[in-house]
Amino acid sequence: MEPQLKTVIDKVVAEFAISDEFLRKATDKFIASMDHGLASGPSKEHMPMIPTYVTDIPNGKEEGLFLAGDLGGTNFRVCSINLKGDHTFDLKQSKYKIPLDLMKNSTSDELFSYLAAKVEAFLEEHHKDYKDNDHLKLGFTFSFPVYQTSLNRGTLIRWTKGFDLPDLVDKDVVELFQKHIELKKIKVNVVALANDTVGTLLSRAYSNNPDVTKSNTIVGAIFGTGTNGAYFETFDRIPKLDSSKFKGKGMVINTEWGSFDNNLTILPNTKYDEIVDKETANVGYHLFEKRVSGMFLGEILRVTLIELFKEDHIFVDLYKKRGGSLPHRLSEPWQIDGEVLSYIQIDDSTDLKMSELVLQNHLRLPTTKQERLVIQALTRAISHRAAYLSAVPLAAITKRVAPQYENDDKDFEFGLDGSVIEFYPGFQQAVMEAIKIIDPLKGSPKQIHLKIAKDGSGVGAALCASTAK
C-alpha cells in the first residue's frame, strides 16, 4: 500500500482493535449486566434476561411427533420432528422466503396469515393425513425480543434485524399465530414459544450424550443475521421471578445479549458504528449485535469505505470516470452481504485478483489494487473485532455457570448456530483465541468446546412443545 494511504488505514484499523484488557473487563461488565437484568424489569441499560418458562434441559429421552415454525430472519421454516427418545430424531422441513414487503410497511396480520398458509402448505406436502388425526402440537420459534409470561405466551418488545411492523409491539405473538391458524381451519395448536437460542440450547442438549462427549452443553447461541444466547440459570439468581411457582432448580434464560451495553459504557464505538446505528429501525438498541452479527458486518465495511471516499482516499478516479457517482451497491445502505466479506477475508491471490472478481460480481465495483488492499485490511479488522466481542458473552456465561457444575468433571460445550459462526473463515478460531485470553475457568482442568448445532432451533422448538401440557 502507498505509505500515505497506509498511515490512514492503519489508524482506522486500530480503531477496531480489541485489547486483552478490554476482553477481561467486558466479561466482568457482562456478568454484572446479567445480574441487573435478572433483578429488574425492562431497561435500556441492561440486557432483558428473559425467563423462558423452560425449566428442564432435555436428556435425549424425549419422544413423539411435533411441528415447529421458525421465524427469525429472511426465511420462515416449518418442520416436523419425530423425537425418537435416544438422542436422535427424524426431521422433515421446508423453507419459505419472507417477501420483503411483509417485513416492513405491512401489518402483522398479513405476516401471520402468510405464516399460517405456509404451515398448511407444509402439512399438505409432508403429512397429508393430518386432518384425520388429533391436533398436532407446534413449537413457535420467534427470534426477536419477547417478554414471555408463560411457555406459550409472550409479547413483542421490539423488532430487530430489519423487521418493522409496529402494530405487533406489545401484542401476544402466539395468540396472533393461533388466530390465523384457526382462520385457515388447520388442526394445529401452538403450545410453546421459544427463542432460536433456547431452541439451539435444547436441541444440542438433546443430541449431546455427555457420557460419550464428556461435555455438558451450557449455552445455546446464534451468530448469524443477529446474535443472542440462552443458558440455564438457578432460581436463587433470578430475583425478578417468583420461583415458588416452579419445580426444579432453575430456568433457561434468553439473555438478548444483542442489547449488551446499549449505553456504550464499555463497547468500542467508532464513527462508523454511529452511522450504521442511525440507519436502523431500532436506533440506540442492540448495539452489541450491531458490532457482531452478519447483518451489520457488510454495512460497517460499506460505511467505512464511503467515509474514506469522502476524505478523498479511495474511489476518487472511479467517481470521476462515472461522471460523479459510485456504484449503487456501495452508495446505498445494506447492499453488502456478509458473504462478500468472507471471500475477501481469505484472499491470498496475486494482487487480490479473487477479491477483484468478487467485488465486480457482487457489487459491480471496479477496484484498483490499492483499493482492494484497503478493503481487505478493513474486512479483517471488522471481522476480528466481531469475533473477539463474540467471546465476551460466551466466556461470561461460562464463568457464571461454573459453580453449577462444581461436582462434575465433564468439559463445557456451547451449541452454536448461524451463518457467521458456521461459515465465516477463521471466526471460530478467533472466538476460541479470545476465550483463551479471558480464561473464564482459570485453574480448572475443564476444557471449552464449540459445537455447531445446525438448524437446532426447529428441533428445540419441538422439544419445548414436548414439555407442554
The contact set with ligand BGC (CB under 6 A) reads 72, 143-145, 160-161, 195-197, 222, 224, 226-228, 256, 258, 289
Burial class (CB in 10 A: 0-12, 13-18, 19+), 185: exposed
- Residue 100: which residues within 8 A CB-CB, separation 6 or more? none
Catalytic residue status for 143 = yes
Annotated active-site residue in 70, 172, 196, 411: 196
Residue-by-residue DSSP string for 270-317: -HHHHHHHHTSSSTTS-TTHHHHSHHHHHHHHHHHHHHHHHTTSSSHH
We find the least distance from the C-beta atom of residue 142 to ligand BGC, in angstroms, to be 8
Measured distance CA(421)–CA(294) in Å, rounded: 9
Measured distance CA(406)–CA(151) in Å, rounded: 29
Indicate the residue among 34 and 375 with the shorter CB distance to ligand BGC: 34
Q: If DSSP codes are grouped into helix, strand and coil, which group holds residue 261?
A: coil
Indicate the residue among 227 and 428 with the shorter CB distance to ligand BGC: 227
We find the least distance from the C-beta atom of residue 380 to ligand BGC, in angstroms, to be 24
Measured distance CA(96)–CA(78) in Å, rounded: 8
Between the two ends of the chain, the Cα-to-Cα distance in Å is: 65
Indicate the residue among 145 and 298 with the shorter CB distance to ligand BGC: 145
The 10 Å Cβ neighbour count of residue 466 is: 21
Q: What are 93's strand-pairing partners?
A: 79
The residue behind cell 442489547 is 259
We find the least distance from the C-beta atom of residue 153 to ligand BGC, in angstroms, to be 16
We find the least distance from the C-beta atom of residue 105 to ligand BGC, in angstroms, to be 20
Indicate the residue among 226 and 440 with the shorter CB distance to ligand BGC: 226
Annotated active-site residue in 33, 143, 342, 390: 143
- Residue 153: which residues within 8 A CB-CB, separation 6 or more? 172, 174, 175, 193
We find the least distance from the C-beta atom of residue 8 to ligand BGC, in angstroms, to be 33
Residue number, nearest CB to ligand BGC: 226
Annotated active-site residue in 70, 80, 108, 158: 158
We find the least distance from the C-beta atom of residue 122 to ligand BGC, in angstroms, to be 21
Indicate the residue among 222 and 253 with the shorter CB distance to ligand BGC: 222
Indicate the residue among 227 and 379 with the shorter CB distance to ligand BGC: 227
Would you please indicate which residues are annotated as catalytic (active-site) residues? 143, 158, 196
